[in-house]
Amino acid sequence: AYPEYNKTHLLSLQLPDRSGDIIITTYGEIDRNNYLDPRTAQIATVDHVKQTCTKLRPAADEELPSAYIEEFRSAIDYEVSKYVGEAYPKGVSAVYCTNGKDLEEPGADFGLAVVISAARRSPRNFCWRSIWTLEFSYAFQLVEIKGKIQVDAHYFEEGNVQLDTDVDCKDSTIMQSPEDTGHTVANIIRHHESEYFSSLEESYLNLSDATFKDLRRKLPVTRTLFPWHNTHAITLTRDLAKELGIGKGSHVTR
Amino acid sequence: PFRSPWSNIYEPPLEDGTVPSEEMRNLEVEANEVFSVYRDQYYEGGISSVYIWEDEDESFIACFLIKKDGQGKRGYMQIGSWDAIHVIQVGPEEEGAAHYCLNSTVMLSLTTDNKQSGTFNLSGSIRRQMSMTLAVADGHLVNMGKMIEEMEGKLRNSLDQVYFGKTREMVCTLRPPPEVLNMRLPDS
């Protein structure tokens, strides 16, 4: 339960040697308690319950991608972490190799995943998580990009309110040098994420302006409070209206 | 089986089903009528029910329920639902006054769902309590009605603030809007 929770929520923990943060995600999972930080090429042992790093060791060569893959991975990592630093005050990011990690030269497909996480855990609980998978196709010289962005917020003073949002995105670009790929991918991610932010704002506006106001008026059409004292007059008027078949809520048809 | 507050009959029928006393039943009938008009004026639709039953020591409990579902602007796939539950405990009459204790909950759910902008869901509830001692001269219904009206107004404001203010504020904390980023002082 705890590992699943931490992975789903892209928990980020400070590395014991202060060299940065490690994201707890399936993409970096060596085993249940050990996770790879691709940027510093280290494996951290994690206590899921306490949410801390208990040990740190350098990653072995077999645990890391080839030099060829690493060129792409680190170029994208560099550009994406620049973007994340600008857009999210408390954001972290990492880029992992998802397949083809031992590829030494062009000639076959490989895949990378970009993971972005910005969260506050306490006292309030809210987070922005996005995962972008990049499939490099050698045959088509294309990079197919798929993203899933999720924003959750949980507010529980005075009650209990949860915001749950998510969206799926798609894009693509041509195969380029690692450096150019880094720029392009970061720009594509930046573009989609800021578009999504705008659409969140729009959803708030629409729901607030239209849907919420439609549920209950601030005041009746009369612009006065309900006349509880004159209930006899009200029920009389209503009965008359019913009889005559006029007004809302009338069940009489003539 | 449940007892309909409109017909005072159990559906499906229940032998020996408890029904309120005549006095309570009359109050219940009137409350349903009046509350229905109140509901119409504020909600312009929806459905409501009032249940009243005796409690111990000459007290009684009244439960006012409102349910309203809504859509949004034309062209947007939006759903909203509002469920209000107001439970008032009314104490025995003493020196022409009675004590009213109101516990209210409003459950509000708002959703947008479309392929392009994905799913957006705001759901939850807000709860509040209000107690008052009021003269019974105008009758219980007037007192209870006014309390509920005041309470709903407050809850509506709170919901507006929390749903559209607080949660939005949290999102903007994670990812400040472009205008805020541009206002940042450059690192020296």
Whether A249 is covered by a domain: the verdict is: no
How confident is the model over A101-120, as pLDDT tens digits? 999 999 999 999 999 999 88
CATH number at residue A181: 3.90.1150.210
Count of pairs with CB atoms under 8 A, one residue in A, one in B: 202
**Is the pLDDT reported for residue A169 higher than 50?**
yes
Q: Are A215 and A131 within one domain? A: yes
Segments in A108-254 forming alpha helices (H): 178-206, 213-215, 231-244
More confident residue, A168 or B4: A168
Q: Are A110 and A168 within one domain? A: yes
More confident residue, A15 or B87: B87
Q: Are A186 and A141 within one domain? A: yes
Q: Are A51 and A72 within one domain? A: no
* Residue from A9, A116, A163, A195 to probe the interface with B (highest B Cβ count within 10 Å): A163
pLDDT in tens, chain B (188 residues): 677 777 777 777 776 667 778 888 899 999 999 999 999 999 999 999 999 999 888 899 999 999 999 876 655 667 889 999 999 999 999 999 999 999 999 999 998 877 677 889 999 999 999 999 999 998 999 999 999 999 999 999 999 888 888 888 888 888 888 777 776 655 43
Q: Are A123 and A224 within one domain? A: yes
A62, A84, A109 — which closes off a domain?
A62
Domains in chain B: boundaries: 2-67+82-107+123-178
Whether A178 is covered by a domain: the verdict is: yes
* Residue from B121, B122, B159, B162 to probe the interface with A (highest A Cβ count within 10 Å): B122
Task: Say what the alpha-carbon torsion angle B9, B14, B16, B17 is, to the nearest 10 degrees.
Answer: -50
Radius of gyration, alpha carbons of chain A: 27
Q: Are A52 and A86 within one domain? A: no
Burial grade of A87 (CB within 10 A; 0-12, 13-18, 19 or more): buried
For residue A58, give its domain range. Answer: 2-62
CB contact under 8 A, B123 and A162: yes
Whether A254 is covered by a domain: the verdict is: no
Taking CA–CA distances from A226, the nearest residue in chain B reads B38
- DSSP for chain B, please give it: -EE-TTT--EES--TT-----HHHHHHHHHHHHHHHHHHHHHHSS-EEEEEEEE-STT-EEEEEEEEEEE--STTS-EEEEEEEEEEEEEPPPBTTEEEEEEEEEEEEEEEEEETTTEEEEEEEEEEEEEEEEEESTT-HHHHHHHHHHHHHHHHHHHHIIIIIIIHHHHHHHHS--HHHHHHSPPP-
More confident residue, A233 or A68: A68
pLDDT at residue B188, rounded to an integer? 39
Burial code (b: 16+ CB inside 10 Å, e: under 16) for B115-146 equals: eebbebbbbbbbeeebeeebeeeeebbbbbbb
A62, A77, A112 — which closes off a domain?
A62
pLDDT at residue B32, rounded to an integer? 95
Q: Is B154 on the interface with A (CB under 8 A)?
A: no
Nearest to B127 among A159, A225, A235 (CB): A159
More confident residue, A253 or B146: B146
CATH number at residue A56: 3.30.1140.60
Whether A152 is covered by a domain: the verdict is: yes
Instruction: Please answer whether residues B27 and B37 qualify as being in contact, where contact means their C-beta atoms are separated by less than 8 angstroms.
Output: no
Q: Are A46 and A111 within one domain? A: no
Q: Are A79 and A51 within one domain? A: no
Residue A71 host element (H or E): helix A67-87
- B 40-59: CB under 8 A from A: 40-45
**Is the pLDDT reported for residue A224 higher than 50?**
yes
Residue with token string 């969206």: A167
Radius of gyration, alpha carbons of chain B: 22
pLDDT at residue A236, rounded to an integer? 66
Nearest to B162 among A158, A167, A217 (CB): A158
Nearest to A216 among B37, B116, B156 (CB): B156
Q: Are A100 and A14 within one domain? A: no
Whether A250 is covered by a domain: the verdict is: no
pLDDT at residue A32, rounded to an integer? 94
CB contact under 8 A, A120 and B170: yes
Q: Are A153 and A172 within one domain? A: yes
Task: Say what the alpha-carbon torsion angle B176, B179, B181, B185 is, to the nearest 10 degrees.
Answer: -140
Tell me the percentage of chain A whose pLDDT exceeds 90. Answer: 70
Q: Are A99 and A33 within one domain? A: no
Q: Are A193 and A169 within one domain? A: yes
B90: tokens are 């009314």
pLDDT at residue A251, rounded to an integer? 41
CB contact under 8 A, A212 and B142: no
Whether A252 is covered by a domain: the verdict is: no
Q: Is B168 on the interface with A (CB under 8 A)?
A: yes
**Is the pLDDT reported for residue A229 higher than 70?**
yes
Instruction: Please answer whether residues B88 and A174 qualify as being in contact, where contact means their C-beta atoms are separated by less than 8 angstroms.
Output: no
pLDDT at residue A253, rounded to an integer? 38
CB contact under 8 A, A165 and B120: yes
Class of domain B2-67+82-107+123-178: alpha beta
Taking CA–CA distances from B139, the nearest residue in chain A reads A229
Nearest to B175 among A87, A215, A229 (CB): A87
Average pLDDT score, chain B: 87
List, edge to edge, every strand of the sheet that includes A42-47: A29-31, A34-37, A42-47, A52-58
Number of separate domains in chain A? 2
Work out the minimum CA distance from B88 to partner chain A, whole angstroms.
17
How confident is the model over A187-222, as pLDDT tens digits? 999 999 999 998 898 888 888 888 888 899 999 998
CB contact under 8 A, B173 and A120: yes
